[in-house]
Every structure is written in C-alpha cells, then in structure tokens.
Structure 1
Amino acid sequence: MKRTVFVVLIVASLLVSAVPVVGLTSNPDLRTVTPNPTLQPGGVNEVSFQLINDPDGPDDDVRTATSVRIRPRDTGPIDVETNELFVSELPDGVPADLTLQVDVPAGVSSGAYRIPLSLTYEYENGAGSAVERRTTEYVTVRVKPGPQFSVVDTDSTATVNGQGTLEVTMRNVGSTAARDSTVALSSSSPGVSLGAEQSTARFVDSWATGENRTFEFDTTLTETSRVGNYSLDAQVDFERPDGTAGSSPSITVPMRALPEMTFSVSEVESSLRVGETNTLSGTVTNTGPQPAENAVVVFEDPGPTVTPVETSVAVGSLDPGESAGFAFDVEVTSSAQAGPRQFDLGVNYWDQDDTARSSNALPTRVDVGPKSDEFDVQPVNGTFTAGSGGEFRLTVTNTREYPVSDISAKIYTDAPLSTSDDEAFVDRLDPGESREIVFQLSAGSDAAAKTYPVKMDFQYDDDDGDTVISDTYQIPVDVTVDANGGLPIVPIVVVAAVALLGGGYLYYRRQG
C-alpha cells in the first residue's frame, strides 16, 4: 500500500512538472515620475513629468490602460493653468511624457508641493469586458529658495507706426541675491519688435534682495499694429550665492501701444497769385498723444510752378493740444494756372526719446488767384488835339503787397502819336502808394479824331532786390480835331510869326 501511494505521488509530480507554468497578468497601475521638480517663483513654470503604467510586484504582464484623461488641480498657492491632458493608450513600461503649466506666485514659501492629478482610464479585464477606473496621483514639485523676480512698473512711449522706449522696472523679491543675471525680453507679436529684432537682453552683475532695477528697451511698432496693450515675455537667468545656476519662469511684461502722432492745419489763409510772391499761412496743432519737441512745419514738393522761398518754418515745441502759427513766402510762376491747388505740408519733430520723427502729409487746399498787374496806371490828362502836344501825365499805383524801388517807366508810341521824352523815374512806391509821372506826347496834324494806344512798361526792384521787367500796359489817348474846321493852330502861329518878321523888316528898311 505504501509503495502504491509513493508511486502515485511520483506520477503526479511528473505530471505537474510536465505542464508549462502559466504567467500572471495584472491590471493597470499608474504612477508619476518628475525628473526635474524644481520651481521658480514669480511666474509661469513648465513642469515636465512622466505617467507610467508599471505595477509593483513580480507579475509578468500588465494590461494596457486606454483613454487616459488627466485633470490637474491647484494646490496651495500654486495655480495650475493646464486644464486637461489625454493619452490614448499607456502600455506596460512605455511612459507618456507630459507637461503642466503652473503659475507660482512671487514670495511663495520654499518647500515641497504635491499637485493632484485626477485620472480616469479604461482597460480589458481579460474576460472580454472593458473596465473604467478612477484614481488620484500626484506630481511632486519643490520650490527652492533663491532669487525671485516680479515686474513692478512699465512705461512705454512707442506709437503705432513709430518707435519709442519701453522702460521695465523689476524687483528681486526672492530670499537671496542674484549674481551675473541676464534679463531677456522677447516679443511674439509680428507688430512689435525690440530694436530691429524680436528679442534683446540686458546684464546685471549683482541684484540684491528687494532691489529694483530699471531697463530700457528700444521698441518699434508697425503700421499694422493696433492701439492697446501687448504682452512681452521676460526671463531672468542668474547665479545663486552658492554658485548654482537658475532661471526664472516666464514673466509677463505689459506694454501699451500709443496712438500714432498726428497733427492738423487750420485757419489757412493764402494770398498766392500767378506771377507773384505772396504768403501762405495757417495754424498747426499737435493732436497728440505726446509732446513734439522742436517742431518744424515743412512745405513738401509743390511742383514746378510753385516755389516756397523757404521750405521749413520752426514753430517750437508743442504739447498735446497746443497750436502755433506758421507762414511761408511762396512764389507762383507766370506759367502757373489760377484756381484751387492742394499742397502737402508736414511736421518734423523730436520725440521724448530724442528721436527725429516726421508726420504724415497734411493735405492743404488753397486758391491761387489769377495774374494781376504790378501797377495800376491811370491817365491824368489823356486828350490831345491833332497837331498839338504837351505833357502826358499818368498816376502810377503800386498794387503789390510789398514795396518796390528804382522804378523806371518807359512809353512806346506809334504814328500819329510821338514822344520827345519817353522815360520817367520813381525812387520808391510802398504798397498802395501812388505817384504822378510825366512824359512829352504829341499828336500829328493829320491824326484822325479817335482813341490811340500808348504802350508802357516798368523796370523795378522787388522786395528781395531782384530786378523785374513788368508786363506791357496800354494807356488810351484820345485825339480830337478843331471843331471850327479852321487852320490848325501850329501853322497859324508860324504864318503869324513870319508876317510879323516880314513887317518888321520892311519898317526897318524904310527907317533907314
């Protein structure tokens, strides 16, 4: 009997050893690993971690977790900005690399913090059914003592379609000083650049706890930029007193884009006239938003027939809303056309950063008057009898808005009119002043009774000292004939004189 039992045991042992051993399979078991858990206070940190499906124990196989949803939650003073993460499947031993955005306030106490993760996932239970499971895991992070930075104040002078300066004041709010710090500022907006680039940096050798530092950055806004607030990103790389290196999280730096500098032209008055040099005047106003230092009103290219004597007029510094008058002396050539004209004025100025700027063109509409005579000429005595002559008196008036000098007047006659003295001179005529000038004029004895023209022009010096030849004037002269139809007076006088001389000669001979 004992031998039989022994044999049965041996057979059973052999049977067991002949059957292969079946491995055990475990359900998913998720956990987290954080390679670099250090956080820097004072901004948004990026926390990288791994989610691993790896249960503890000697099991040979682990079921794959699918449709894994991760919902982080805030913890203490740390604000988690990531709402949800998703992993489609998480097999055994293949970690999922994930990232959280967490906002760590400045001044947060150093130490370890656990960020809760609410996990929901599914898996096959081995019997053909899907099982959903919910659990909570944690990402452990650590706030290390050291320098911390926050933005205290910003001030921007940049205008749309212009340049300016962004002043950023930052404070070390951490528990230790920082050494050999580099403040890097960058812009992700295509409408905002820092100088000629999208990023720039400043260096600080020593930055004590509680100390403020102010940095200036050149900024440029394109014409497509909009008025309003922009956000730039700053980061501080530093060295702790113990020699270890660190970097701050991304720090938001606000910047205000100001409206484009604008000016307006009002109360525009023009005395411009074809063939004359006259005045274009008006008022320029700084419509903001910043002061314009050493402003100059400029007269842009007006074309070939209009020439400003000076192309710029200084009006001084203008605060927002402040106005100043300007005036240009402008020459309009004789070939110009009278009528409405549009000129482009502009303003050159210096901004608050001592940068030279120019405004957009300010279209200015004015009327150019038709050509006018330099002088008004009126005859004092303009009637002569055929066969007679005498003084031809004219009144000459300066119609210009400036004085003229060294005025030489000359007349030109055609038969039956003639002159024995065709020139007259006036030393000076002020605007609106009149003077009488005299010539000698005769009408031939055979002249018909009618009106004849006497041509006349002037040579004079204008108010700039330039010698000018005037246009030609035509002065009417009326010629009349003796109403009695008798002999003309000149032949009668000659005959009478001859008769008297002849009678005297005869009387003298008789007395002798």
Structure 2
Amino acid sequence: MKRKLFAVLIVASLLLSAVPAVALTSNPEIQTVIQDPTLQPGGVNEVSFQLLNDGTGAEDETRDAYNVHIRPANSVGPIDVETNELYVESLPDGTPADLSLSLDVPANIDSGTYRIPLRLTYEYDNGAGNDVERKKTIYLSVRVKSGPQFDVVDTSSTATVGGTGTLEVTMRNVGTTAAYDSTVSLSSSAPAISLGSGTSSTRFVDAWERGENRTFEFETTLQDSASVGNYSLSAQIDFEKPGGTTGSSPSLTIPLRALPEMTFDVSDVSSSLRVGEEGTVTGTVTNTGPMAADNAVVTLENPGQTLSLVETSVAVGSLEPGESAPFTFDVEVTSSASAGARQLDFGVTYRDMADRSRESDTIPTRVDVQQESPEFDVEPINATYTAGSGGTFEVTVTNNRDHALTDISAKIYMDSPLSTSDDEAFVERLEPGESQTVRFQVSAGGDATAKTYPVKMDFQYDQPDGDTIISDTYQVPVEVTADADGGGLPVLPIVGVVAVLLVGGGFLYYRRQG
C-alpha cells in the first residue's frame, strides 16, 4: 500500500512540474529616481527626476497607474517649490516618466539633505474590472553641498530708454568657503537691451572670500523700442572650490529698471528783439530727469533768413535732476524782417553716465519781435529864428539802443528860406540812454514867412561789432517869426496906396463913361 501511494506522489510531482506557474500581479508601487540631487544655493534650480512604477516584491507584474497627479509641497524649510502640479497620463510597469521641479534655493541655506513631499493621486484597475483611486505621499530627496554660494544683494541702473547707462550689480558669497577664479556672466534675452556691444558681458574675480561683497558694472544700452519699466537679466557664476573642483551657480535673476528718457523744459523765455536791431533771447533750462546731465549745452537752431544768431550754443554746466540754469542768446533781426511772433527751436546736448554724447528732442518756444524803434531820440532846444536872422541850432540827441554807439556823425538838411553854414556835428560816444547836445548854424531868409519849417537830420555811427550804420532820417521843427522892426512893406502905407489906386481907377473909369 505504501509503495502505491509513493508512486502516485511521484506522478503528481511530475505532472505539476510540467505545468507553468500562474503569474502574480501587484498594485502600483510608485517611487522617485533622481540622478543629480545636488542643489546650488542662490537661485532657482531645475531639478530633473523620474517617476517609476515598479513593485519591490517577488511578484512578476505591477498594474499600470494612470491619471497620475503630483502636487509638490509649497515649501520645504527654506526651499520654495515653484512648481504647483505635475501630471502623468499613464505610468506602466517599469517605464519611467521624466519630470522636473523648480526649486528656489536661498543663498544662505544650510548644507544638508532636504526631502520634498510629493502628494500623489492616481487610478488603477484592480483586476476585477473596477477602477480604484489611491492617494499617497512620496518624497524626492535633494542635497545642498558646502562650498561657495552667491546671492544678489543690490542692483541699480542709470540706463534710459533710447540711451546708455550703467547697471551696477552687488553680489555676496554667502557660502561656506571662498571661490577662486570666478567668472560672472550676465546675459539678456530682450532684443531691446544690449550689454556692452552684445547680449552678454562677463567679469572676473580672482578670489572671492566667504561673506565678501563684490560690485560689478555693466554698460547697458536701451533701444528706442524699449518700454519704461522692469526687465530681468540672467547671471551665472562659474568658480573653483578650495579643493580644486569646479562648480557653477544656478541662474540668478538680475532686475533692470528701464528709466524714462532724459527730458528738459525751457521756461521763462523773453526777448528784446526789434526789427533792424540786435537783441537778446533769455530763458531758463531745467533738467526734468531722471538723471544728471553732465556738461549740458543749450542749443538754438537757425531761425531763418530774417534772424541771425550771434552764437548757436550756450554752455550751462552739469545739471542734476530738477536743477535749472539761465541762458542768453544774442540775435540780430534784419531790417527787412516784419514784427510778430517767431518760433525758436531749442535743444540740449549733454553727456550721459557712460560719458556718451546725447541730444534731447527739439523744444519749440515762441518769442515776439517788436516794431523797429529809432536809434535816437531827437529834441530841439534852440530852434526859433526871426526872418532875416540866424543863430545856433541846438538839438539834444539820446541813444535808444541797449549798447553804446560810437563815432556818431550828425548832419542836417534844409530847404529855402532856411540855410546853414555849419551842417555837421560829431559825438564820440553815447552809452545806452545817454544824451548829448549837438549844435549847427542856421539862418532864415529875410523874405521868410512866419511859420514852422522842417529840418531833416540823419546820423552815421558805429555798432559795437564794428559795423557802420546810417540811420533813418529825422525831422526837427524850426520856428520862423516875423521881423518886428520892418522887413517887407509897411501895412498902413500899402493900404493907403491900394485905396488911392482904387479911387483913382474909379475916377478914371467914371470919366471914361461920361
């Protein structure tokens, strides 16, 4: 009987060994795999990792997970997680999904290992035709090593839209060791921003001690297409550690403020311009910002044929934002000009913070040109003569110009019954508003009728610039009175003669009629 049972067992064993074993299947088992967990302090790190569905037991298969939602924790200690959510449509057994997290790592973070919680929500088929939802938290481990670490301490910029300025960036080594042979690279991805002559610029530091601040200056140009406001540049630092190994910082964000372009308002403009005269145009220029204008010069464009500029620019020095300075231009108005309003176009040239020459937009301003005024005021002092007599003709001459006139030659002209034996007088110099009396010799003929006669008078003189000018003609009144002692036939005898002639004529007429 025992032999028979043993034979049955042997046969059963052989039969079982010939039939394949039934494969076992487990539920999803999701884990993280990371190749490089090292974080660089002082910026945003993009950490790449894989999500893997692979059971760890003896089972042959793991069920697929699908609709996998990954929600990282908002922060882990000093690390801010900038990625809000990740999604994987399907996660089959053994096929990893490539993902990444954005981690903002402060520059002063302590070295060590940090675990980022990942809250998972996913579904799978339980093998009986039913979908099952599961929630689970797994962890992504990252590590901060000791060594140089960098933080942006401060930035400032003087660059204006359409201009060139300086971007100053101050950085600090907040790591645990010094950095050697460091290269700071600053780059711009905005087409409207140039760094030096291109889109990037570098600076070198031989030794950067722990806790040391370093300030770097970069020449920055903003094109006319730039907008006033904030831009972001990127910086990276490549360095050597004390042990000789090399490293690189994560990308550091460098803010850049694009300032409005330089502007100037010209105010308090007044003029003493008159037709046929040289006058002045005065005003005030103000730097309305946003930065200092070095070696500022106010310019005045050619205003046209009837106005002539003695100078086209006036230096007013350096102007801080909000600071003003006066200016004066000498302008000559031709005698062919007409009185009325004129537009003058001012401008300002200056040197910016990069010592480059810059020019403001045109600043149009209106001024008035007054009617021509006489060069002199002429007032007679002694200008009354008796018919048949003469004497000294005295005239007070006053300089109406706002500058001195020299070598003034005065001359008079007259018609009969007036005559002159001395028709010229000379004045060496007249200051503005100064008066002097000139004298001539004038006679009135004996047959002159008692009335007012005009005496014409003009002047030849020299301007301060050396030009010799002949003035307009002035008319000065001269009074002639009758001779009280005779001169001409007496009135009573003439009346008598007329009466006799009338009587005689009437008698003769009467006789001829008889």
TM-score w.r.t. the length of structure 2 is: 0.80
- 1:345 aligned partner: 346
State the distance in 1 between where 2:326 and 2:469 align.
Answer: 31
Deviation at 1:13, TM superposition (A): 7.0
The one-letter code matched in structure 2 to 1:53 is N
State the distance in 2 between where 1:190 and 1:305 align.
Answer: 47
Deviation at 1:451, TM superposition (A): 6.5
State the distance in 2 between where 1:251 and 1:165 align.
Answer: 19
Contact 2:447 2:488 in 1 (8 A): no
Contact 1:445 1:488 in 2 (8 A): no
Contact 1:166 1:216 in 2 (8 A): yes
Q: How does 1:352-367 map to 2 (within 5 A)?
A: 354-367=355-368
Contact 1:387 1:488 in 2 (8 A): no
Deviation at 1:231, TM superposition (A): 4.2
Q: How does 1:113-152 map to 2 (within 5 A)?
A: 113-152=114-153
State the distance in 2 between where 1:11 and 1:273 align.
Answer: 133
> Deviation per CA, 1:282-331, whole angstroms, max 9, x where unpaired?
34444455444444333344333333322333334444444433322222
Q: Which moved more, 1:8-17 or 1:73-82?
A: 8-17
- 1:396 aligned partner: 397
- 1:495 aligned partner: none
Matched, 1:376 2:370: no
Deviation at 1:50, TM superposition (A): 1.5
The one-letter code matched in structure 1 to 2:39 is L
> Deviation per CA, 1:167-198, whole angstroms, max 9, x where unpaired?
22222222222222111123455555433434
The one-letter code matched in structure 2 to 1:116 is P
In structure 2, the CA distance between the partners of 1:13 and 1:375, relative to structure 1 (3 Å rule), is same
Identity over aligned residues, as a percent?
Answer: 67
- 2:196 aligned partner: 195
Matched, 1:41 2:41: yes
In structure 2, the CA distance between the partners of 1:430 and 1:109, relative to structure 1 (3 Å rule), is closer
Q: Secondary structure at the match of 1:182?
A: strand
> Deviation per CA, 1:333-386, whole angstroms, max 9, x where unpaired?
223332333433344444555444444444443322111111223344566788
State the distance in 2 between where 1:472 and 1:61 align.
Answer: 122
The one-letter code matched in structure 1 to 2:431 is D
The one-letter code matched in structure 2 to 1:67 is N
The one-letter code matched in structure 1 to 2:97 is A
In structure 2, the CA distance between the partners of 1:473 and 1:25, relative to structure 1 (3 Å rule), is farther
The one-letter code matched in structure 1 to 2:196 is G
Q: Secondary structure at the match of 1:197?
A: coil
In structure 2, the CA distance between the partners of 1:304 and 1:56, relative to structure 1 (3 Å rule), is farther
> Deviation per CA, 1:63-104, whole angstroms, max 9, x where unpaired?
432221111123333222211112222334443221111122
Q: How does 1:220-235 map to 2 (within 5 A)?
A: 220-222=221-223, 230-235=231-236
State the distance in 1 between where 2:301 and 2:89 align.
Answer: 67
Contact 2:164 2:352 in 1 (8 A): no
- 1:331 aligned partner: 332
> Deviation per CA, 1:368-407, whole angstroms, max 9, x where unpaired?
2111111223344566788877655433221101110111
The one-letter code matched in structure 1 to 2:166 is T
Deviation at 1:459, TM superposition (A): 2.1
Q: Which moved more, 1:241-250 or 1:399-408?
A: 241-250
Unaligned stretches of 5+ residues in structure 2: 491-514
- 2:66 aligned partner: 66
State the distance in 1 between where 2:125 and 2:89 align.
Answer: 14
State the distance in 2 between where 1:79 and 1:270 align.
Answer: 66
Q: How does 1:31-430 map to 2 (within 5 A)?
A: 31-56=31-56, 62-73=62-73, 74-189=75-190, 192-222=193-223, 230-257=231-258, 260-351=261-352, 354-380=355-381, 392-412=393-413, 421-430=422-431
State the distance in 1 between where 2:79 and 2:383 align.
Answer: 107
- 1:458 aligned partner: 459
Deviation at 1:259, TM superposition (A): 5.5
Deviation at 1:39, TM superposition (A): 1.0
State the distance in 1 between where 2:364 and 2:374 align.
Answer: 30
The one-letter code matched in structure 1 to 2:126 is N
Count of aligned positions: 488
State the distance in 2 between where 1:411 and 1:55 align.
Answer: 127
Contact 2:41 2:249 in 1 (8 A): yes
Contact 1:67 1:88 in 2 (8 A): yes
State the distance in 1 between where 2:480 and 2:190 align.
Answer: 88
In structure 2, the CA distance between the partners of 1:34 and 1:488, relative to structure 1 (3 Å rule), is farther
Q: Secondary structure at the match of 1:402?
A: coil
> Deviation per CA, 1:4-46, whole angstroms, max 9, x where unpaired?
99799979977995x8877555443322221221111222211
Q: Which moved more, 1:160-169 or 1:399-408?
A: 160-169
Q: Which moved more, 1:474-483 or 1:103-112?
A: 474-483
- 2:434 aligned partner: 433
State the distance in 2 between where 1:452 and 1:94 align.
Answer: 124
- 2:30 aligned partner: 30
Contact 1:482 1:488 in 2 (8 A): no
Cα RMSD (Å) = 4.0
In structure 2, the CA distance between the partners of 1:34 and 1:338, relative to structure 1 (3 Å rule), is same
The one-letter code matched in structure 2 to 1:314 is A
State the distance in 1 between where 2:88 and 2:452 align.
Answer: 112
State the distance in 2 between where 1:98 and 1:170 align.
Answer: 32
Q: Which moved more, 1:62-71 or 1:41-50?
A: 62-71
TM-score w.r.t. the length of structure 1 is: 0.80
Q: Which moved more, 1:8-17 or 1:324-333?
A: 8-17
Contact 1:33 1:51 in 2 (8 A): yes
Deviation at 1:164, TM superposition (A): 2.4
In structure 2, the CA distance between the partners of 1:21 and 1:199, relative to structure 1 (3 Å rule), is same
The one-letter code matched in structure 2 to 1:30 is I
State the distance in 1 between where 2:171 and 2:455 align.
Answer: 88
The one-letter code matched in structure 2 to 1:150 is D
State the distance in 2 between where 1:401 and 1:472 align.
Answer: 20
- 1:469 aligned partner: 470
State the distance in 1 between where 2:312 and 2:159 align.
Answer: 29
The one-letter code matched in structure 1 to 2:468 is T
State the distance in 2 between where 1:254 and 1:346 align.
Answer: 33
